[in-house]
């Protein structure tokens, strides 16, 4: 089962659009979705064996047959104790392969969340997000937040 811990930052508003940012916790240098050893498990099991022991606090926002989306409460989770891609970009370094990091993903959206003047939804359907699916699948899971 895939575990997708994330937090959202305030959208940045343009003239007729928003840029939304989701910081997603990824494994192996920020390239792999977090995955349990078990194919299926309960939310309680995932919380007790994966999330809480690793310092994550928050709530499940969506569950599918293969994935659990977990919105991190940034007031209770010490985000500063984790690496982010920014830490390595500032130093012009590559994220080491065994380093777990928060990686930002951006979404351009219209004010009414209906129009796609930029063609962003279509583009995201073609961007792979590893074994999990596509970038469009990620954003669809985050929409329930």
Q: What pLDDT, on the 0 to 100 scale, is given for residue 22?
A: 92
Which pLDDT tens digits describe the chain residue by residue (145 residues)? Answer: 999 999 998 888 877 777 888 999 998 877 789 999 887 889 999 999 999 999 999 999 999 888 999 999 999 999 999 888 777 877 787 877 888 889 888 887 766 656 666 677 788 888 888 888 888 888 888 876 5
Q: What is the pTM of this model?
A: 0.85
d(CA 99, CA 126): 26
Residue 88 φ then ψ, to 5°: -85, -35
Q: What pLDDT, on the 0 to 100 scale, is given for residue 32?
A: 85
Domain ranges of the chain: 2-142
């Amino acid at each position: 089962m895939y575990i997708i811990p994330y937090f959202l930052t305030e959208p940045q508003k343009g003239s007729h659009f928003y840029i939304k940012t989701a910081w997603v916790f990824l494994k192996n240098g920020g390239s792999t979705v977090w995955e349990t050893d078990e194919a299926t498990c309960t939310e309680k099991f995932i919380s007790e064996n994966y999330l809480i022991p690793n310092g994550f606090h928050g709530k499940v926002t969506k569950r599918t047959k293969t994935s659990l989306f977990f919105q991190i409460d940034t007031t209770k989770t010490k985000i500063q104790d984790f690496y982010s891609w920014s830490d390595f970009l500032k130093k012009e370094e590559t994220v080491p392969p065994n380093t777990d990091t928060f990686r930002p993903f951006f979404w351009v959206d219209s004010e009414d969340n209906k129009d796609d003047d930029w063609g962003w939804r279509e583009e995201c359907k073609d961007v792979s997000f590893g074994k999990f699916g596509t970038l469009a699948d990620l954003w669809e899971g985050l929409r329930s937040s």
